[in-house]
Amino acid sequence: MSLREIYLPIIILITVLFFIKAKQKFGFDFFLIFLIYLISNFLVELSASFSVHYIGNNMLLYNISILTEGLAFCYTFYYVNNSFLIKKIIVISATSFLLFWVIDFCFMQKNNSLDTYSYLFSAINLATFSLITIYKFVFKNAFNNPFHNLFFWTSIGILFCYLGNIPYLASINTLAVNNWKTYRMAISLNIISQVVNTILYLMIIIGTICHRPETNYKLE
């Protein structure tokens, strides 16, 4: 296994360890759900190369990762927002994403290539929710320091991650199905995903360290 293959699992594992160490800062429900998301992503990234070698592809793993990550971040935004309207929109978006994922996985997915349209759908939704959350932290919650809040830092990480992934996800399916040359181009674009995912986990680590549970972190 090369450094490129274990680099992201190491970053995720460090994030898991920091998050577990800071468990007293968070409510039990959020801690448990977010920890399950982090561990599942760690296992997916760690197992991906082995799956390619022994099974032939890792499509099932990444489809599961798309689902768990999308729903976990929807829950994160639901948890931090007290606005009834925003909560309702998040529930509708999460339900729509789940249905789209099922349709994508059952009817559009191929055995040897990852159909990223459901992830693209999730990316657009989550980037939008992260922008709304950052705006509310900065302009609607002036009496609390957003830098002492995990959800502020995580929102920044999600925004960078999903905005950075949108051009990659929008083009990879088209590039991958044309010919070998464009397929190799699509694979090379994976560096974009590596960079923005690194930013995401670094933001989660910073947020975990800086988070102060005594502050009011719910947004109206």
pLDDT bucket at 138, cuts 50 / 70 / 90: confident
Dump pLDDT digits (tens) for 71-86.
999 999 999 988 899 9
Give the pTM. Answer: 0.87
Q: What is the mean pLDDT of residues 99-111?
A: 81
Choose from 11-20, 61-70, 100-109 the range with maximum mean pLDDT.
Answer: 11-20
**Domain 3-210's class?**
mainly alpha
The domain spans of the chain are: 3-210
**For residues 44 and 175, which has the higher predicted lDDT (pLDDT)?**
44
Name the more confident of 115 and 25: 25
For residue 1, is pLDDT > 60?
A: no
Percent of the residues in the chain that have a pLDDT greater than 70, as a whole number: 75
- HEC profile of the chain: CCHHHHHHHHHHHHHHHHHHHCHHHCCHHHHHHHHHHHHHHHHHHHHHHHHHHHCCCCHHHHHHHHHHHHHHHHHHHHHHECCHHHHHHHHHHHHHHHHHHHHHHHHHCCCCCCCCHHHHHHHHHHHHHHHHHHHHHHHCCCCCCHHHCHHHHHHHHHHHHHHHHHHHHHHHHHHHHHCHHHHHHHHHCHHHHHHHHHHHHHHHHHHHHHCCCCCCCCEC
pLDDT at residue number 53: 53
pLDDT, tens digit, for every residue of 186-216?
A: 566 677 888 899 999 999 999 999 998 866 6
